[in-house]
Amino acid sequence: MKISEIQQLLNADIICGGDFLDRDVYSACGSDMMSDVLAYVKDQGVLLTGLVNPQVVRTAEMMDMRCIVFVRNKLPNEEMVKLAEDNAMVLMATSKRMYEACGKLYCAGLVGKATAKSGAGNE
């Protein structure tokens, strides 16, 4: 799915990275706990979160995520925007709650991946 499709589905505002909306993402992760995100399989995904601190961008960068969507009208601070710009990452914000945002993306075909650590094997 293109990041531009995510922006449209979530009616999200682009905060930075508007030049990268044509990039593909293959999975999504919704969490406010960055430890859960670190356990997530790398797959050029999108992170949906309501957590607003620089660790969100640092964690997404470590996991090769291409896009962060802040839910519930949360907005990143200047430090976060600068970090995202330095890493060619898209930041967006939506008024939708996490549950609804994740559901919309899932119904549109963007799936989550099972974590390698869990050994669940479900996709």
What confidence tens digit (pLDDT) does each residue in 53-83 have?
999 999 999 998 999 999 999 999 999 999 9
Q: Looking at the domain assignment, is residue 119 inside a domain? A: no
Q: Looking at the domain assignment, is residue 122 inside a domain? A: no
Residue 114 neighbours by CB distance under 10 Å: 13
Q: What confidence category does residue 122 fall into, taking pLDDT thresholds of 50, 70 and 90? A: very low
pLDDT digits (tens, 9 = 90+) for 22-45: 999 988 999 999 988 888 666 768
**What residues does 90 pair with on adjacent strands?**
67
Q: Looking at the domain assignment, is residue 115 inside a domain? A: no
Q: Looking at the domain assignment, is residue 118 inside a domain? A: no
With tokens 């709650």, the residue in question is 97
Tell which residue, 55, 98, 53, 56, has the closest CA to residue 73. Answer: 98
Q: What confidence category does residue 111 fall into, taking pLDDT thresholds of 50, 70 and 90? A: confident
CATH of the domain at 23: 3.40.1390.20
The DSSP result for 40-99, as a single string, is SPPSS-EEEE---SHHHHHHHHHTT--EEEE-TT----HHHHHHHHHTT-EEEE-SS-HH
Q: Looking at the domain assignment, is residue 12 inside a domain? A: yes
Number of compact structural domains in the chain: 1
Q: Looking at the domain assignment, is residue 26 inside a domain? A: yes
Q: Looking at the domain assignment, is residue 123 inside a domain? A: no
Q: Looking at the domain assignment, is residue 49 inside a domain? A: yes
Give the list of residues 6+ apart from residue 119 with CB closer than 8 angstroms, or none. none
Q: What is the pLDDT of residue 36?
A: 86
What range does the domain containing 10 cover?
3-107
